[in-house]
Structure 1
Amino acid sequence: MLKRLSKVVNEERKLAVGLMSGTSLDGIDAALVEIIGFGPGTKVRLLDFESTSYSVEERRQLIALCDPVSSTVEKICKMNIILGDRFAEAALAVIQKAGLTPEAVSFISSHGQTIYHWPEEQATLQIGELANIAAKTGILTVGDFRPSDMAYQGQGAPLVPFVDALLFSHPTENQVLLNIGGISNLTVVHAKNSSAKEISAFDVGPGNVLIDGAVRHLTANQQTYDLDGTIACKGNVHYDLLMMLIQEDDFLAVKPPKSTGRELYSEQRLATILKKAENLSLSIEDTVATITAYTVEMISQSLELYVHKEQKIHELIVSGGGAHNQAIMDGLRQALPYKVSRMDDVAFTGDAKEAIAFTVLGNQFLHGETNNLPSATGASRNVLMGKLVLPS
């Protein structure tokens, strides 16, 4: 074991596959990445990217697993194995797409699929069995990062800010990196010449999770998300309902560090919102436009409360599925006094950002280097996060 691990660690140039499935439950992102070095000298290059969608039935089952009322131990056990195989298939697909073989890849780093995140009890559960990934690919596999941070009083989230700080620090300007997946989360990346000591990063609130759910319910599963924000752009925001949603959202007032998920922005919460919209006789377009504005408003108010008072920001860089939603991007540009860009225009495709980030976290782990950010997660110290599975 030590010989195999040492070989990987001592490689000057590593090829790694990062696997990510987020709160949106839309599918598995697989990024094939070249990594050179570790720590502050880390350099990454995206070689290929592949996104594999979940079927309607798989998504339905995963949503049910996220709810304690509809979830069971048997269903969790079964889906853990199914997803392990699906993650392995996603890794092999992106390797094949790049014209390579599994033997060329040093390691796989998998976030897994979160089905319950309970930071108040320092508990979390990500499924997608690592042993299955390693067995079916024949590649050393790292994963299950969050529990190690939580063992040191952290929230186990957000994890990507560690990588944001490592890769995206601008020489002279402060930037905010915003990822809009199912949940929105942001990282304030200080300029290299800044005197700021700590990176500020936290979950903001809903990203696409309520938008996707609304579209799914209102179209009877004919659509699972608002492609490019087309539905929202055709509607009008109902501002009284929007203000009601903001006022009812206690998460906005929680001071960072903080994290959240489907436990708060649940199917029950969505049902309540849709009932309010129905009582107001809102059209599908107006309902989706208002829920989309809710996502934008939570982001802009969070920035005003927890970022703008502390530092001057030069640019907001958006990644994740929300970066493709024109209603969200237009809303952010209207709400914020500085440049709003997409990750695609700055570095690599924003859809691959989180999968890339997990290759960096996995690389840190293999080098025995800490890979959390206590100012983001609230952990009592820097922690080495991850678990290792070697294929036989």
Structure 2
Amino acid sequence: MQRLADLAHRSVRRVVGLISGTSADGIDAALVEVSGVGLRAHLRLIAGLTIPFRPSDRDELFRMFDPSTATVDRITAFNFHLGDLFAEAALAVIAQAGVAVADVDLVGSHGQTIWHIPAPDGSTLQIGEPAVIAERTGLPVVADFRVADMAAGGQGAPLASYFDLVVFRHPTLNRAAQNIGGIGNVTYLPARKPDGCGPEDVLAFDTGPGNLVIDAVVAEVTGGQQAFDQDGAIAARGRISNEWLAQLLADPYLHQKPPKTTGREVYGSPFARRLLSEARARRLSADDTVATVSALTADSVVAAYREFLVPRGPLHEVVLSGGGSYNGFLRRRIAAALGIPVRTSEDLGINGKLKEAMMIALLASDAVAGVPTNVPAATGARGPRVLGKFVPPPLPH
């Protein structure tokens, strides 16, 4: 374990962050230089890429999401196969950066969540075997970041609240750092002088559906010709069914008080199929269906802010990240409803598509330094916890 002890005392670490999010469309990989630890950490993106899943792998992954097809033998086999794919992504981003593997300190891997139940008896499962990643890359790996928070009574999410706190807090602006990936999640960062807020000030939770439902609907109405709505172009052509939208916004989850988290278990394929069925019953066109479903994502964000953030003080700006930050329809609708600046993480120097991979790199770096990275005020955990499990690399021959 000398390797771990050495890593703990380094002031600068080169870390690969790996994640496949709720949309499950591929593996995001980022090679990040992390200087310092905790709230004083500074991140510099060296290289980043996304490797899409092969159709056969994505099909098998979606079988993992369905309890009727996710048998134990299939889960264990795919756990190892996914570990191979994550290792390939790690090596690919290192090669893209033009650095030697020996010059990288460690890998952080979130894996792929296949099931997440926050309450009443919290449990979660991410696959993508970290021991396989360590064996293939020859690097130490930190993985399984959610379980320590859940063991302490927390929701195990959103993990992004710690990253947002480190990167986006501001001394004079009340900010909402909003990620729109498969699921939407927000971190509220109230202004605090001189350096911004601390963990005890943060409010973070999943706002509701993000791209997950939009993508499923777009794939269906385009006959599989499009996997997502590029820049929100389809939604922009359509007319929103306000009556149906009002019914969708009455979803009990959207009005549940934080801490709260959600995922594919609630807003996955069955939910998307239900919406498509309702749209057909209402005789909505394809464009109108996409517009209304997209408005659900945007308006659920706005409703969450009005119900849970604004009572804490005026909101000065929103910082968007994730795939949804590239959707012009979502950006415009959120900005129009709130009447405040809606920026993207790129405006603040963070690649929106690679934010979550960078987040995992930060969590891994702080884990080897023994720094707690959950945010109990956001997750509901009993206290601060160091997140992640350490897998050592193979012994030298």
Q: What is the one-letter code of the residue matched to 2:246?
A: M
Q: Deviations over 1:134-185 (max 9, x none)?
A: 1110111001011111101011111110121122211211111000000000
2:155–2:381: 8 Å Cα contact kept in structure 1? yes
Equivalent-residue separation in structure 2 for 1:60 and 1:295 (angstroms): 25
Provide the residue aligned with 2:204 in structure 1.
201
Q: What is the one-letter code of the residue matched to 1:242?
A: L
Please show how residues 202-351 of structure 1 align to structure 2 within 5 Å: 202-247=205-250, 249-351=251-353
Provide the residue aligned with 2:84 in structure 1.
85
Please show how residues 44-193 of structure 1 align to structure 2 within 5 Å: 44-120=43-119, 121-193=121-193
For the residue of structure 2 that corresponds to 1:251, the secondary structure is helix
Deviation at 1:218, TM superposition (A): 2.0
Q: How many pairs does the alignment contain?
A: 390
Equivalent-residue separation in structure 2 for 1:328 and 1:63 (angstroms): 26
2:35–2:42: 8 Å Cα contact kept in structure 1? yes
- The structure 1 segments of at least 4 consecutive aligned residues displaced by more than 3 Å after TM superposition are 194-197
Equivalent-residue separation in structure 1 for 2:388 and 2:350 (angstroms): 25
Equivalent-residue separation in structure 2 for 1:220 and 1:131 (angstroms): 39
Q: Deviations over 1:43-96 (max 9, x none)?
A: 111111111111233222222211212321122112111111111111111110
Deviation at 1:195, TM superposition (A): 8.0
Q: Deviations over 1:280-316 (max 9, x none)?
A: 1111111111100000110000000000111111110
Equivalent-residue separation in structure 2 for 1:59 and 1:221 (angstroms): 14
Q: Deviations over 1:215-237 (max 9, x none)?
A: 12222322221122121112111
Equivalent-residue separation in structure 2 for 1:281 and 1:191 (angstroms): 47
Equivalent-residue separation in structure 1 for 2:81 and 2:185 (angstroms): 28
Deviation at 1:338, TM superposition (A): 0.9
Q: What is the one-letter code of the residue matched to 2:259?
A: P
For the residue of structure 2 that corresponds to 1:308, the secondary structure is helix
For the residue of structure 2 that corresponds to 1:307, the secondary structure is helix
Equivalent-residue separation in structure 1 for 2:318 and 2:248 (angstroms): 24
Please, what TM-score do these two structures have when normalized by structure 1? 0.97
Bigger Cα displacement from structure 2, 64-73 vs 38-47: 64-73
Equivalent-residue separation in structure 1 for 2:146 and 2:162 (angstroms): 13
Unaligned stretches of 5+ in structure 1? none
Equivalent-residue separation in structure 1 for 2:144 and 2:80 (angstroms): 15
Provide the residue aligned with 1:16 in structure 2.
15
Cα gap change, 1:114 to 1:195, in 2 (>3 Å): closer
Equivalent-residue separation in structure 1 for 2:329 and 2:373 (angstroms): 35
Equivalent-residue separation in structure 1 for 2:169 and 2:329 (angstroms): 28
Deviation at 1:10, TM superposition (A): 2.2
Unaligned stretches of 5+ in structure 2? none
Q: What is the one-letter code of the residue matched to 2:276?
A: L
2:165–2:197: 8 Å Cα contact kept in structure 1? no
1:177–1:318: 8 Å Cα contact kept in structure 2? yes
Equivalent-residue separation in structure 1 for 2:222 and 2:68 (angstroms): 25
Bigger Cα displacement from structure 2, 344-353 vs 115-124: 344-353
2:8–2:370: 8 Å Cα contact kept in structure 1? no
**Fraction of identical pairs, as percent:** 42
Task: Output the aligned Cα RMSD.
Answer: 1.3
Q: What is the one-letter code of the residue matched to 1:256?
A: P
Q: What is the one-letter code of the residue matched to 1:236?
A: R
Q: What is the one-letter code of the residue matched to 1:15?
A: R
For the residue of structure 1 that corresponds to 2:267, the secondary structure is coil
For the residue of structure 1 that corresponds to 2:113, the secondary structure is strand
Equivalent-residue separation in structure 2 for 1:219 and 1:79 (angstroms): 30
For the residue of structure 1 that corresponds to 2:312, the secondary structure is coil
For the residue of structure 2 that corresponds to 1:350, the secondary structure is coil
Q: What is the one-letter code of the residue matched to 2:108?
A: S
1:67–1:263: 8 Å Cα contact kept in structure 2? no
Please, what TM-score do these two structures have when normalized by structure 2? 0.96
1:385 aligns with 2:387: yes
For the residue of structure 2 that corresponds to 1:229, the secondary structure is helix
Bigger Cα displacement from structure 2, 103-112 vs 73-82: 73-82
